[in-house]
Amino acid sequence: MLRIFSLCFAFTVMVQAQTLETIIENSLASHNSLKSIEQKLSALDDSLELTQNFANPELTFSVSDIQFSDPMSRSVEPMQNEGIAFKQKIPYFGKRGANASYVNAKKSVVYSSLEMAKTALVREIKLTAYTIWEFEKERAILEESLELNRKNIELGTIYTLSESSLHMQTMGMKLFHSQLKIKRSRIVSILGGLYAKLSYLASMKIDSLEMDAKVTVPKSLERYLELLSQNRSYQYKSAQVGAKSAFAELKEYDSKIDPVVQLGYFHRASFEDYLSFSIGASLPIYGNESLRVQQARKELLEAKFAKSDLYEKLKSDLHKSYAQLINSYEIYKILTTESLPQVEHMFELAGANINNGKNLLSLTSMLEKKLDLQEQKISAIASYKRAQTEIDALVGEIK
């Protein structure tokens, strides 16, 4: 009995509608697109450790002065020897630190890309969720309107039996009923695709959504402009500038010569063994290092210009989204405080005055107006929430 109860409880939890907060939390924790970036970030930790190591040394074994007259003899003359040599490049002072700084700067770029991906993922989840909410609300209104219109048709059919002039009105209501069913079918089809998209974004199966879209008084545009520097794309560009700067510094160090030290031990069959020591360095006589430094500096300037250009674009996008937010809010207020109360009152009056079939046409007309205004209200709320989502993404909010 206990097992049956546990299974029933588990099934209830599985079919329970998911909240937007749960969906976002699960997506940020398990979405594959984020995991791939996290692995790249982890790989850079290994690269950071590598920057502190020297380059691999070279070990050489040699046999010198092989005589063609007697190739197997190793005691013909003093220059004959067998040797082993160890060669190591020593990084110029500060170069390993510059390498570490560059890897850390690349880590900042990857981390910024992770935060940017999170923001984009949350934004897409919210936009999809609010669109689902919009269509679900429209479907609920359609169901209510279909039921009310069905009752009106039944009532009209009764009156039509005694007054043939009402037949056309009843046929009109039946046509309106068919249009409502067609619209409901279209919404059901759209919702199927939206739930499939939301399931992918959330990394979990979602068949229903539990959420409440509330409209609040918008904050000022100036407040959002103050937060614009927190935009994840802008921070990603800033991290790229930092990486380009670290790379240019690294190229400056690359122009410094790394000395190479070589130590050898040589054995002679009939003479004393001996050691040899040498030090060398590459000669930057062709100007390659200088050209690479110039190239790195130009790439740094390019990144700075791109960062400034992005900020201006973000300001433009913010103004556009804020204008949509204010417009949706104003439409919502008009519909809530003026249009809907008026049509609701007219609809109640039309319904109360049905003492014969002559008022059915006006009632159907009021039903159409009420349905249209309710859909406009839902559309305004959804538009407001989508605009707010765009603004949240622009100012770097992840929640």
Question: Residue 349 above 90 pLDDT?
Answer: no
Question: Residue 74 above 90 pLDDT?
Answer: no
Question: Quick one: pLDDT at residue 7?
Answer: 39
108: number of Cβ within 10 Å: 19
Q: What distance, in Å, lies between the first and last C-alpha atoms of the chain?
A: 41
- Concatenated DSSP letters for 27-77? HHHH-HHHHHHHHHHHHHHHHHHHTTSPPPPEEEEEEE---SSSTT-S-SS
Question: Residue 345 above 80 pLDDT?
Answer: no
Question: Residue 374 above 60 pLDDT?
Answer: yes
The H or E element spanning position 367 is helix 360-394
Question: b/e string for 344-366 if b means 16 or more Cβ within 10 A?
Answer: eebbeebeeebeebebbbbbbeb
Residue 205 CB contacts under 8 Å (≥ 6 apart), including other chains: 199
**Which tops the pLDDT comparison, 367 or 183?**
183
Q: Which of 73-77, 102-106, 241-245 has the lowest mean pLDDT?
A: 73-77
How far CA 147 is from CA of 152, 186, 217, in Å, comes to 9, 18, 35
CATH superfamily for domain 15-394: Outer membrane efflux proteins (OEP) (1.20.1600.10)
Residue 287 CB contacts under 8 Å (≥ 6 apart), including other chains: none
Question: Quick one: pLDDT at residue 47?
Answer: 81
pLDDT, tens only, 166-190: 566 667 667 777 888 888 899 999 9
Question: Quick one: pLDDT at residue 199?
Answer: 92
Question: Quick one: pLDDT at residue 105?
Answer: 92
Task: Report residue 135's pLDDT band, with 50, 70 and 90 as the boundaries.
Answer: very high
How far CA 247 is from CA of 92, 94, 95, 106, 238, in Å, comes to 16, 14, 12, 10, 14
pLDDT, tens only, 2-35: 344 333 434 443 445 789 899 998 998 888 889 8
**Which tops the pLDDT comparison, 287 or 353?**
287
The H or E element spanning position 199 is helix 167-202
Of 59, 53, 82, 96, give the one whose Cα is nearest residue 262.
59
Residue 134 CB contacts under 8 Å (≥ 6 apart), including other chains: 378, 379, 381, 382
Task: Report residue 78's pLDDT band, with 50, 70 and 90 as the boundaries.
Answer: confident
Q: Which residues pair with 62 in a beta bridge?
A: 83
Please state the φ and ψ torsions of residue 270, each to the nearest 5 degrees. -110, 5
How far CA 55 is from CA of 49, 199, 258, 282, in Å, comes to 13, 49, 11, 15
pLDDT, tens only, 195-234: 999 999 998 899 988 888 889 999 999 999 999 999 999 9
Q: Which of 54-63, 119-128, 138-147 has the lowest mean pLDDT?
A: 138-147
In the three-class reduction of DSSP (H, G, I as helix; E, B as strand; rest coil), residue 192 is classed as helix
Question: Residue 241 above 90 pLDDT?
Answer: yes
Question: Residue 328 above 90 pLDDT?
Answer: yes
Q: Name the strands in the sheet holding 81-89, side by side, starting at the edge strand that comes first in the sequence.
A: 58-64, 81-89, 260-267, 274-280
pLDDT, tens only, 294-320: 999 999 999 999 999 999 999 999 999
